[in-house]
Amino acid sequence: MKKLLIVDDEPNIVMSLEYAFQKQGYQVYIARDGSEALVIMEKEVPDLIILDIMMPQVDGYETIQIIKQNPAFAKAKIIFLSAKSKASDIDKGLALGADLYFTKPFSVKKLIGAVEALLNH
């Protein structure tokens, strides 16, 4: 079972994603921001991380940088899921090493498709 970590401070969005991905057969972990995510990753390195950017405490940019610096996390794919939708935001997210960048509002179906594609290439 593939492990998926959802990092977002919006409980309603997290709830929808958790339900949808569990239905697809993923093991879903949830973190409310970067620091919680890193705590979880110390125990379980997920196959893929869905990462929000604007979060309290440690935001998405900081989180991806920490992940990318740690070779132990190298296998984790990262998808940014953010309301920041300017081209410069997207470029910045990809430059930091994210595999994909999804802007909110988003299609749950397309996000699932993208996750599938990344993990089963």
| DSSP-assigned letter for residue 67 | H
Whether the Cβ atoms of residue 19 and residue 49 lie closer than 8 Å to each other: no
- For residue 26, CA distances in Å to 10, 23, 82, 85 come to 20, 7, 21, 27
Q: Closest approach of Cβ 114 to other proteins, in Å?
A: 14
Q: Closest approach of Cβ 104 to other proteins, in Å?
A: 3
Judged by CB under 8 A, the stretch of 34-42, 64-72, 90-98, 103-111 that binds other proteins is: 103-111
**Neighbouring residues of 44: CB distance < 8 A, sequence distance ≥ 6:** 3, 29
Q: Which is nearer to other proteins, 11 or 97 (CB)?
A: 11
Q: Which is nearer to other proteins, 20 or 118 (CB)?
A: 20
Q: For residue 34, which amino acid is it? A: G
Q: Closest approach of Cβ 109 to other proteins, in Å?
A: 7
Kindly state whether residue 30 participates in binding other proteins, applying the rule CB under 8 A.
no
- Residues that bind other proteins (rule: CB under 8 A) add up to a total of 25
